[in-house]
Copies of this chain bind each other. A is one copy, B any other.
Amino acid sequence: MDQTTQTRGRPRDQTVERKIMETALRLVKKHGVRAVTLELIAETSGIARTTIYRRWRNRSAILADAFLTRVQPEIGFPEHASALERLRQQMHLLADSFRGSSGQILRTLLSEALTDAEFQVAIHDGWIVPRRAAATVIIEKAIAVKELPQHTSPDLLLDALYGGLYYWLLFDPARLTATYIDSLFELVLHDASSHARGRAKLLKGVATPNVKIVR
Protein backbone atom coordinates (compact mmCIF):
# COMPACT_ATOMS: atom_id res chain seq x y z
CA MET A 1 0.00 0.00 0.00
CA ASP A 2 2.70 2.51 0.95
CA GLN A 3 4.89 3.18 -2.01
CA THR A 4 7.89 4.39 -0.08
CA THR A 5 10.04 1.59 -1.42
CA GLN A 6 11.02 3.05 -4.75
CA THR A 7 11.98 0.30 -7.15
CA ARG A 8 13.28 0.31 -10.67
CA GLY A 9 11.21 1.30 -13.63
CA ARG A 10 8.83 4.12 -14.30
CA PRO A 11 7.31 5.36 -11.08
CA ARG A 12 3.57 5.33 -10.65
CA ASP A 13 1.82 8.47 -11.65
CA GLN A 14 0.75 9.91 -8.33
CA THR A 15 -2.08 11.86 -9.93
CA VAL A 16 -3.84 8.81 -11.31
CA GLU A 17 -5.58 7.86 -8.10
CA ARG A 18 -6.84 11.37 -7.49
CA LYS A 19 -8.05 11.74 -11.06
CA ILE A 20 -9.94 8.50 -10.98
CA MET A 21 -11.54 9.15 -7.62
CA GLU A 22 -12.64 12.59 -8.65
CA THR A 23 -13.86 11.49 -12.03
CA ALA A 24 -15.80 8.63 -10.53
CA LEU A 25 -17.52 10.79 -7.96
CA ARG A 26 -18.28 13.49 -10.48
CA LEU A 27 -19.78 11.02 -12.92
CA VAL A 28 -21.85 9.40 -10.24
CA LYS A 29 -23.29 12.74 -9.27
CA LYS A 30 -24.04 13.58 -12.86
CA HIS A 31 -25.36 10.36 -14.31
CA GLY A 32 -26.11 8.05 -11.42
CA VAL A 33 -24.12 5.04 -10.43
CA ARG A 34 -25.50 2.62 -13.00
CA ALA A 35 -24.32 4.71 -15.90
CA VAL A 36 -20.81 4.98 -14.55
CA THR A 37 -19.07 2.18 -16.35
CA LEU A 38 -15.40 1.63 -16.03
CA GLU A 39 -15.05 2.50 -19.64
CA LEU A 40 -16.70 5.82 -19.06
CA ILE A 41 -14.41 6.58 -16.15
CA ALA A 42 -11.39 5.73 -18.24
CA GLU A 43 -12.51 7.79 -21.16
CA THR A 44 -13.53 10.78 -19.08
CA SER A 45 -10.45 10.81 -16.92
CA GLY A 46 -8.09 10.17 -19.78
CA ILE A 47 -6.57 7.26 -17.90
CA ALA A 48 -6.21 4.00 -19.72
CA ARG A 49 -8.40 1.11 -18.63
CA THR A 50 -5.32 -0.99 -18.08
CA THR A 51 -3.89 1.51 -15.67
CA ILE A 52 -7.08 1.51 -13.70
CA TYR A 53 -7.17 -2.23 -13.52
CA ARG A 54 -3.64 -2.26 -12.24
CA ARG A 55 -4.82 -0.42 -9.17
CA TRP A 56 -8.34 -1.60 -8.52
CA ARG A 57 -9.77 -5.05 -8.81
CA ASN A 58 -12.89 -4.00 -10.61
CA ARG A 59 -15.44 -1.30 -11.09
CA SER A 60 -16.95 -1.74 -7.65
CA ALA A 61 -13.59 -1.41 -5.97
CA ILE A 62 -13.15 2.01 -7.50
CA LEU A 63 -16.45 3.20 -6.21
CA ALA A 64 -15.79 1.70 -2.82
CA ASP A 65 -12.47 3.41 -2.64
CA ALA A 66 -13.89 6.69 -3.78
CA PHE A 67 -16.61 6.46 -1.22
CA LEU A 68 -14.56 5.35 1.70
CA THR A 69 -11.69 7.74 1.18
CA ARG A 70 -13.54 10.78 -0.05
CA VAL A 71 -17.04 10.67 1.24
CA GLN A 72 -16.79 9.07 4.60
CA PRO A 73 -14.46 11.68 6.11
CA GLU A 74 -17.10 14.31 5.49
CA ILE A 75 -19.45 12.61 7.87
CA GLY A 76 -17.87 12.91 11.25
CA PHE A 77 -19.23 13.53 14.68
CA PRO A 78 -19.55 17.22 15.37
CA GLU A 79 -18.39 18.59 18.68
CA HIS A 80 -20.92 19.39 21.29
CA ALA A 81 -21.17 19.47 25.03
CA SER A 82 -23.94 16.89 25.14
CA ALA A 83 -23.12 13.40 23.94
CA LEU A 84 -26.68 12.76 22.84
CA GLU A 85 -26.67 15.99 20.93
CA ARG A 86 -23.54 14.89 19.08
CA LEU A 87 -25.34 11.71 18.18
CA ARG A 88 -28.35 13.58 16.93
CA GLN A 89 -26.34 16.00 14.87
CA GLN A 90 -24.40 13.19 13.32
CA MET A 91 -27.61 11.49 12.32
CA HIS A 92 -28.53 14.65 10.51
CA LEU A 93 -25.21 14.68 8.71
CA LEU A 94 -25.64 11.08 7.72
CA ALA A 95 -29.19 11.61 6.54
CA ASP A 96 -28.05 14.51 4.42
CA SER A 97 -25.36 12.48 2.76
CA PHE A 98 -27.76 9.58 2.22
CA ARG A 99 -30.10 11.89 0.38
CA GLY A 100 -27.32 13.08 -1.93
CA SER A 101 -24.83 11.50 -4.26
CA SER A 102 -23.01 9.82 -1.41
CA GLY A 103 -26.16 7.90 -0.77
CA GLN A 104 -26.19 6.93 -4.39
CA ILE A 105 -22.71 5.55 -4.17
CA LEU A 106 -23.33 3.78 -0.93
CA ARG A 107 -26.33 2.16 -2.51
CA THR A 108 -24.12 0.77 -5.26
CA LEU A 109 -21.62 -0.45 -2.77
CA LEU A 110 -24.31 -2.14 -0.77
CA SER A 111 -25.64 -3.66 -3.94
CA GLU A 112 -22.25 -5.06 -4.62
CA ALA A 113 -21.68 -6.16 -1.06
CA LEU A 114 -24.96 -8.03 -1.01
CA THR A 115 -23.73 -10.45 -3.62
CA ASP A 116 -19.98 -10.36 -3.12
CA ALA A 117 -18.72 -11.67 0.20
CA GLU A 118 -15.31 -10.12 -0.17
CA PHE A 119 -16.81 -6.80 -0.92
CA GLN A 120 -19.18 -7.14 1.97
CA VAL A 121 -16.24 -7.47 4.31
CA ALA A 122 -14.69 -4.36 2.84
CA ILE A 123 -17.82 -2.35 3.38
CA HIS A 124 -18.33 -3.79 6.79
CA ASP A 125 -14.80 -3.12 7.94
CA GLY A 126 -14.39 0.18 6.17
CA TRP A 127 -17.74 1.70 6.83
CA ILE A 128 -19.87 -0.05 9.40
CA VAL A 129 -17.32 -0.99 12.00
CA PRO A 130 -15.57 2.36 12.37
CA ARG A 131 -18.74 4.35 12.67
CA ARG A 132 -20.38 1.95 15.07
CA ALA A 133 -17.22 2.16 17.12
CA ALA A 134 -17.29 5.92 17.11
CA ALA A 135 -20.97 6.00 17.96
CA THR A 136 -20.50 3.47 20.69
CA VAL A 137 -17.90 5.61 22.34
CA ILE A 138 -20.27 8.50 22.36
CA ILE A 139 -23.10 6.44 23.75
CA GLU A 140 -20.91 5.11 26.48
CA LYS A 141 -19.92 8.64 27.26
CA ALA A 142 -23.59 9.53 27.47
CA ILE A 143 -24.15 6.66 29.82
CA ALA A 144 -21.21 7.72 31.91
CA VAL A 145 -22.56 11.24 32.26
CA LYS A 146 -26.02 9.85 32.88
CA GLU A 147 -27.60 11.18 29.75
CA LEU A 148 -28.62 7.59 29.16
CA PRO A 149 -29.56 4.93 31.67
CA GLN A 150 -26.93 2.57 32.98
CA HIS A 151 -28.24 -0.54 31.35
CA THR A 152 -28.48 0.89 27.84
CA SER A 153 -27.12 -1.42 25.18
CA PRO A 154 -25.19 0.72 22.70
CA ASP A 155 -25.68 -1.86 19.95
CA LEU A 156 -29.41 -2.02 20.31
CA LEU A 157 -29.70 1.70 20.58
CA LEU A 158 -27.68 2.16 17.43
CA ASP A 159 -29.89 -0.27 15.58
CA ALA A 160 -33.04 1.48 16.63
CA LEU A 161 -31.60 4.87 15.75
CA TYR A 162 -29.77 4.10 12.56
CA GLY A 163 -31.82 1.19 11.26
CA GLY A 164 -34.40 3.57 9.88
CA LEU A 165 -31.73 5.52 8.05
CA TYR A 166 -30.49 2.46 6.22
CA TYR A 167 -34.00 1.29 5.66
CA TRP A 168 -34.86 4.43 3.77
CA LEU A 169 -31.50 4.58 2.13
CA LEU A 170 -32.55 1.36 0.50
CA PHE A 171 -36.08 2.24 -0.39
CA ASP A 172 -36.48 6.00 -0.58
CA PRO A 173 -33.65 8.24 0.55
CA ALA A 174 -35.72 11.35 -0.06
CA ARG A 175 -37.67 10.61 3.07
CA LEU A 176 -34.61 11.18 5.23
CA THR A 177 -35.47 14.78 6.01
CA ALA A 178 -34.32 16.71 9.05
CA THR A 179 -37.78 16.53 10.51
CA TYR A 180 -37.83 12.81 10.10
CA ILE A 181 -34.52 12.40 11.89
CA ASP A 182 -35.69 14.50 14.80
CA SER A 183 -38.90 12.58 15.10
CA LEU A 184 -37.16 9.25 14.98
CA PHE A 185 -34.60 10.37 17.49
CA GLU A 186 -37.31 11.50 19.80
CA LEU A 187 -39.31 8.32 19.45
CA VAL A 188 -36.37 6.12 20.32
CA LEU A 189 -34.71 8.20 22.97
CA HIS A 190 -37.70 9.70 24.63
CA ASP A 191 -37.91 6.98 27.16
CA ALA A 192 -34.21 6.57 27.61
CA SER A 193 -33.57 10.19 28.21
CA SER A 194 -36.51 10.69 30.46
CA HIS A 195 -35.42 7.62 32.31
CA ALA A 196 -31.97 9.11 32.60
CA ARG A 197 -33.39 12.31 33.78
CA GLY A 198 -35.54 10.48 36.22
CA ARG A 199 -32.65 8.46 37.45
CA ALA A 200 -30.61 11.61 37.65
CA LYS A 201 -33.21 12.95 39.91
CA LEU A 202 -32.91 16.36 38.41
CA LEU A 203 -36.32 16.23 37.01
CA LYS A 204 -37.72 19.29 35.42
CA GLY A 205 -40.72 19.57 37.60
CA VAL A 206 -43.00 16.79 36.52
CA ALA A 207 -40.81 16.29 33.55
CA THR A 208 -43.52 16.79 31.04
CA PRO A 209 -41.51 19.14 28.89
CA ASN A 210 -39.00 16.43 28.08
CA VAL A 211 -41.72 14.19 27.01
CA LYS A 212 -41.69 16.13 23.82
CA ILE A 213 -38.26 17.59 23.56
CA VAL A 214 -35.96 14.82 24.47
CA ARG A 215 -32.78 14.67 22.50
Q: Is A86 an interface residue (CB 8 A)?
A: no
Given A115-B33, A166-B167: A187 and B215 interface contact (C-beta under 8 Å): yes
In the bound complex, residues from chain B placing their C-beta under 8 Å from that of A204 are: 208-209
Nearest-Cβ distance from residue A196 to partner chain B, whole angstroms: 12
Q: What's the least CB distance linking A56 to chain B, in Å?
A: 18
Interface band, chain A? 35 or more
Q: Are B184 and A156 in contact (CB under 8 A)?
A: yes
Q: How far is the CA of A35 from the CA of B102 in the complex (A)?
A: 28
Contact with B along A158-191 (1 / 0, CB 8 A): 0110111111101110000000000110111011
A127-165 CB contact bits vs B (8 Å, 1 = yes)?
010000000000000000000000001001101101111
Interface digits, A100-135 against B, CB 8 Å rule (1 contact, 0 not)? 000000011011111110001001100010000000
The answer to whether the Cβ of A214 comes within 8 Å of any Cβ in the partner chain is yes
Q: Which residue of B33, B164, B208, B214 is within 8 Å of A159 (Cβ)?
A: B164
B187 touches A160 (CB 8 A): yes
* A176 and B124 alpha carbons, distance in the complex (Å): 16
Let me know if B159 and A168 touch, CB within 8 A: yes
A32 proximal to B (CB < 8 A): yes
In the bound complex, what is the Cα–Cα distance between A207 and B203 (angstroms)? 11
CB atoms of A213 and B190 under 8 A apart: yes
CB-CB nearest in chain B for A132: B171
| Cα distance, A113 to B32, chains bound together (Å) | 13
Point out the residues of chain B lying under 8 angstroms from A198, CB to CB.
Answer: 209
Chain B residues lying within 8 Å of A116, measured Cβ to Cβ, are: 34
Residues in B with CB closer than 8 Å to A72 are none
Give the residue of B33, B112, B191 whose beta carbon is less than 8 angstroms from that of A190: B191
A32 to B, closest residue via Cβ: B115
In the assembled complex, the Cα of A188 lies from the Cα of B123 at a distance in Å of 27
Known: A187-B153, A209-B204. A171 touches B215 (CB 8 A): no
Q: Which residues of B contact A153 (CB under 8 A)?
A: 183, 187
- In the complex, residue of chain B having the shortest beta-carbon distance to the beta carbon of A209: B204
